[in-house]
Structure 1
Amino acid sequence: MLDAIRNAYIQFLRCLKPLDGVAPLLLRLYLAPIFIQGGYNKFIAFDGTVEWFGNPDWGLGLPFPEFLVVLAAGSELVGGICLIPGIAVRLFSIPLMVTMVVAIFTVHLPNGWLAISDASSWLANERVMEAVDKKQRIVEILQQNGNYDWLTSSGPITILNNGVEFGATYLLMLLVLLFTGGGRYTSIDYWFRIRSEDN
């Protein structure tokens, strides 16, 4: 019986083998627009981003803000573009992970885990709980002074908590790409490697 289960499992894994490039492909296609947009936003608002990176009073208070903005925006923009076809995926995963670690510790960590305020979550902190009254007041103001049905036709009013959740998720996805690479059959990296092995 155990041999039959083991053989069936081995056969199952053999069936999956030709498709093992699909998961890295999906990770790449999910992450690419996030990083491209992030890098693009930093470049088009370069001066404001530099000010935010460097200002110790209302910003991040980081040293060499111009240099760091160029590094972060360049990594996100170029790395995000290269993720799409799967070029140097392992290499670009490293600066993108560094960018995520810096973002987590300088921007998101003080806000807790949740990216969106959800008071019903077991991860809700004091900041999230305070958002309940704020959201209720926002709803009241919009109901009294605006076309509430139209304003919420695309979705309910939500308060962003800006916690670690998304940054940590992207970081883990990049870590997977660092170890798996761009994916068998689905990345330019794979075909370059195959060609170099044939020569």
Structure 2
Amino acid sequence: MRQFVAETCSRLLRILYNGRWLGPLAVRMVFGYFWLETGIAKVHNLDSFTQRFIGWGIPFPAFSAALSAWTELLGGLLIMLGLFTRLVTIPMIINMIVAVTLVVSSNLMGLDDYVEADEVVYSLIFFWLLMAGPGKISLDTLVARWLGIRTQE
């Protein structure tokens, strides 16, 4: 019985290890699409998005709103493709820091509120992508292989 359990666990772990590329791919597809979709909506309604920036007191509201909207749109697309993934997470994290600092923080009362804020969770996912990269199934990995750069994937 002990041998059976050990072999079964070993097989299961091997299957999970061989499928480790699915996690980053699923996160990139869903999370990237989310940002692509929100970016498209903001770009198409830039006047009303700019008005929100004015209401929040964000400096240079027209420029800042356009920059934020296009960052989300292009960032979401690049994350889905797995292209320049680590680089694109940096402006996305900055976008979230600005959102937390200038918009969300006025409604947050304590540590629990910060931890539960969507923008903080988004920042954590962007940070994970920055550190871990896009995964095996990505244009970044394809380009790296084409350039002869060895990846850990």
TM-score bracket, shorter-length normalisation: 0.7 to 0.9
Give the counterpart of 1:83 among 79, 103, 120: 79
Structure 1 portions without partners, runs of 5+: 1-8, 114-122, 125-162
Letter in 2 for 1:83: I
Q: Counterparts of 2:75 and 2:46 in 1: how far apart (Å)?
A: 18
1:64 equivalent in alignment to 2:16? no
Structure 2 portions without partners, runs of 5+: 1-8
Calculate the aligned-residue CA RMSD, in Å. 2.6
Match of 1:42 in 2: 42
Higher relative contact order (CA 8 A, sep 6+): 1
**Residues 108-165 of structure 1 deviation map (CA, whole Å, 9 limit, x = unaligned):** 222228xxxxxxxxx58xxxxxxxxxxxxxxxxxxxxxxxxxxxxxxxxxxxxxx952
Is the Cα contact below 8 Å between 1:60 and 1:106 reproduced in 2?
yes
How many residue pairs end up in the alignment?
A: 138
Note the C-alpha offset of 1:20.
3.2
Q: Relative to 1, partners in 2 of residues 1:10 and 1:191: Cα closer, same or farther, differing over 3 Å?
A: farther
1:109 equivalent in alignment to 2:105? yes
Q: Relative to 1, partners in 2 of residues 1:195 and 1:164: Cα closer, same or farther, differing over 3 Å?
A: same
Letter in 1 for 2:56: L
Secondary structure at the counterpart of residue 76 of structure 1: helix
Q: Counterparts of 2:45 and 2:17 in 1: how far apart (Å)?
A: 45
TM-score, normalising length: structure 1 = 0.61
Counterparts in 2 of 1:4-153, with a 5 A limit? Answer: 16-54=16-54, 59-112=55-108, 123=112
**Residues 46-93 of structure 1 deviation map (CA, whole Å, 9 limit, x = unaligned):** 112112212xxxx11111112111211111001111111211111111
Give the counterpart of 2:121 among 162, 169, 193: 169
Secondary structure at the counterpart of residue 78 of structure 2: helix
Q: Counterparts of 1:109 and 1:19 in 2: how far apart (Å)?
A: 39
Letter in 2 for 1:167: E
Secondary structure at the counterpart of residue 197 of structure 1: coil
Letter in 1 for 2:21: G
**Moved beyond 3 Å, runs of 4+:** 9-20
Note the C-alpha offset of 1:22.
2.2
Note the C-alpha offset of 1:94.
0.8
Q: Counterparts of 2:105 and 2:33 in 1: how far apart (Å)?
A: 23
TM-score, normalising length: structure 2 = 0.77
Q: Counterparts of 1:51 and 1:45 in 2: how far apart (Å)?
A: 10
Q: Counterparts of 2:21 and 2:132 in 1: how far apart (Å)?
A: 9
Q: Counterparts of 1:194 and 1:18 in 2: how far apart (Å)?
A: 19
1:191 equivalent in alignment to 2:146? no
Secondary structure at the counterpart of residue 84 of structure 1: helix
Match of 1:146 in 2: none
Letter in 2 for 1:87: L
